[in-house]
Amino acid sequence: MKWAKRLLKNVFLLGSLLIGTLIILIAISVYIWQTTDEGRLPAKTAVVLHAINNNLVNLDININLPNFMTGGGGGNPLLREDLYIPVQGDVQIPIRIYRPQGDGPFPIVMYYHGGAFITGFGDINTHDNITRSLAARTNSVVIAVGYRVAPEYIFPAAVEDSYAAIQWAVDNAETFHGDTNTISVAGDSAGGNIATVMTLMSRDRNGPPITSQVLMYPLTTFMDVPLASRDIYDSGYYLLSRNVMYRARDLYTPDEVMWSSPYTSPLQAEDLSNLPPTLIITAEFDPLRDEGEAYGERLAEFGVPVQTTRYRGVMHGFISFYEVMQSGQQGLQEVSSFLRQAHQNTLQISTPYQLQVRQPPQGMDRVRDQTEAFAIAAYLLGRSGMNYFR
């Protein structure tokens, strides 16, 4: 019996030693991932970026992590419809409609996905979680527009498709119980550029009035203007590189004269008056941060009600990862709240204009984020080990 007790004791000690060693390994790994030349990252941001940049998960919106780490869906059941709609001549483009059940009429949100204006970087499928969630959270019809992209289709194909989609939505609103008196536009990255261009085109062409616009880390200029964030965060580690930005410009706007158009570079537009209330979301570790915030300043100079929020400790595209990042969840909540208030005509935007800065999760939220980051790190390290021994 004594030998059995000694054996159990030794097994327990060995197990404790292994667990302790694993915890130390995880802690050291997370600390290393948090340390970058551009600053120290929050733990959750660090592990997500490590996973993506080391190809441990697929870079799509539905990040491939265990269910217990991604939270649930939730919300009321939505109706979904995939269609092709005519835009120019015989051309048709795909759209995806999410709408609440019932007769409505419901506010309409036209959503334009990110993806650098070029094939292979984004479409209505990669951004499905955002459009679906916005429909549920805002009780709106959300129409994701699959505009044509470069290199096959250069400017202005994407913006003309996107504007034609708004006109189609107005003409066909009864079929999906949409309210043509309440139309907002929203988009992220390249889609943020297209969203704000839609407000300019609608104003210039006496088109459907736009109720509000939401621009998530938008590209606002193709011009070579001095922007510190483009220089500091240009490596691509934060999910957008200078090389991709130059490639997008070369393919989408191959003629330099296109760069100065207000429909590609709204930041340089001569007239930004009579545009709808605007929410701009930027990320601290993002090459597009400064131009998004500069666009907010210019809108305010023209009397446009604008709210700009910089989220600290996160990277380009962070709202797409709202299932695993609390900052992404907070960003999505801010977007949803802004749209609901805009649709109800209850927006209250403080003046004079000022940039709001939202800190990374604090207190118990920070503890939760770090705990989840360690759990994800353990999963990633385990996955790396399995891949090594295959």
Residue 188 DSSP SS3: strand
**Spatial contact of 130 and 320, defined as CB atoms under 8 Å apart:** yes
Location of structure tokens 């403080």? 350
Q: In terms of Cα–Cα distance, which of 115, 118, 113, 149 is closest to 247?
A: 118
Active site residue 224: no
Question: What does 271-339 look like in DSSP terms, one character per residue?
Answer: ---S---EEEEEEEE-TTHHHHHHHHHHHHHTT--EEEEEEEEEETTGGGGTTT-HHHHHHHHHHHHHH
Name the phi and psi angles at 376, rounded to 5.
Answer: -65, -40
List the catalytic residue out of 123, 188, 286, 369: 286
List the catalytic residue out of 29, 133, 140, 189: 189
Rg, the chain, Cα only: 23
* Token output for 56: 């441990």
**154 vs 68, 194, 254, CA distance in Å?**
42, 14, 8
List the catalytic residue out of 316, 320, 327, 336: 316
Q: In terms of Cα–Cα distance, which of 246, 269, 247, 249 is closest to 258?
A: 249
* Token output for 76: 């009321």
Residue 291 DSSP SS3: helix
Active site residue 286: yes
* Token output for 198: 């839609």
Active site residue 271: no
Catalytic (active-site) positions: 189, 286, 316
